[in-house]
């Protein structure tokens, strides 16, 4: 009933001659080599800085804050993302909004990208669809640790990789 792993012994049968499988192996590798030499596109490597991989929709890249039509963030500083964040990388300072229909707004909204684990919980937690991770940005390089903290303005300026959904 149960499947047994078959034992092929090196010192038995055709295997003991080395030669046969070496030739077989050489045939496999050269087949790949010929394909790759004839059609360089058969090599599946992405030549990174020149070719950039376009991430699929739903990819969790760098965060962005969704703006209202007037350019201010949709965020109401409800702190849900900061609470749910397993890495505790979101720091929000709430302020009273001048518009009485809107309760609060973030005076400060920082995400420490070095702490962030890109789990996407903040997006899931947001009750007003104010934070998204659809920028498609997956490379971060800075010269200082402090530069990795993305501030509100920066997050607002980040654009979606795809057309605005909804």
Window 44-73: contact mask with another protein (x via CB under 8 A): xx-x-------xxxxxx-------------
Q: Which residue has the tokens 């909204």?
A: 109
**Tokens representing 40?**
């360089």
Q: How far apart are the C-alpha atoms of 110 and 84, rounded to whole Å?
A: 15
How near is the Cβ of 154 to another protein at its closest, in Å?
21
**Tokens representing 65?**
């804050």
How near is the Cβ of 55 to another protein at its closest, in Å?
7
Q: What angle do CA 7, 10, 15 make, to 5 degrees?
A: 105
Question: Which residues between 86 and 105 bind another protein (CB under 8 A)?
Answer: 86-87
From 41-49, 65-73, 95-103, 147-155, give the range in contact with another protein by CB under 8 A: 41-49
Q: Decide if residue 165 touches another protein (CB under 8 A).
A: no
How near is the Cβ of 82 to another protein at its closest, in Å?
10
Nearer to another protein, 17 or 143 (CB): 17
Nearer to another protein, 10 or 98 (CB): 10
Q: What DSSP letter does each residue of 34-66 carry, written as one string?
A: HHHHH-GGGS----TTTS-PPPPTT---S-EEP
Nearer to another protein, 4 or 145 (CB): 4
Q: What angle do CA 54, 157, 124 make, to 5 degrees?
A: 70
Q: How far apart are the C-alpha atoms of 14 and 102, rounded to whole Å?
A: 80
Q: How far apart are the C-alpha atoms of 70 and 74, rounded to whole Å?
A: 10
Q: Which residues bind another protein (CB under 8 A)?
A: 1-22, 24-26, 28-30, 32-33, 36-37, 40, 42-45, 47, 55-60, 80, 83-84, 86-87, 117-121, 124-125, 127-129, 133
């Amino acid at each position: 009933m149960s499947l047994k792993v078959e034992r092929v012994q090196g010192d038995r049968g055709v295997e003991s001659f080395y030669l046969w499988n070496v030739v077989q192996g050489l045939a496999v590798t050269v087949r790949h080599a010929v394909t790759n030499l004839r059609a360089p596109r058969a090599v599946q490597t992405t030549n990174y800085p020149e070719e950039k991989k376009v991430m699929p929709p739903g990819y969790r890249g760098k965060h962005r804050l969704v703006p209202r039509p007037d350019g201010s963030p949709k965020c109401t500083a409800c702190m849900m993302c900061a609470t749910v964040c397993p890495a505790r990388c979101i720091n929000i300072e709430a302020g009273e909004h001048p518009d009485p229909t809107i309760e609060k707004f973030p005076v400060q909204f920082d995400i420490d990208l070095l702490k962030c684990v890109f789990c996407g919980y903040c997006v899931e937690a947001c009750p007003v669809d104010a934070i998204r991770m659809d920028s498609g940005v997956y490379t971060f390089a800075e010269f200082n640790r402090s530069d990795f903290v993305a501030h509100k303005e920066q997050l607002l300026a980040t654009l979606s990789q795809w057309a605005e959904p909804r």
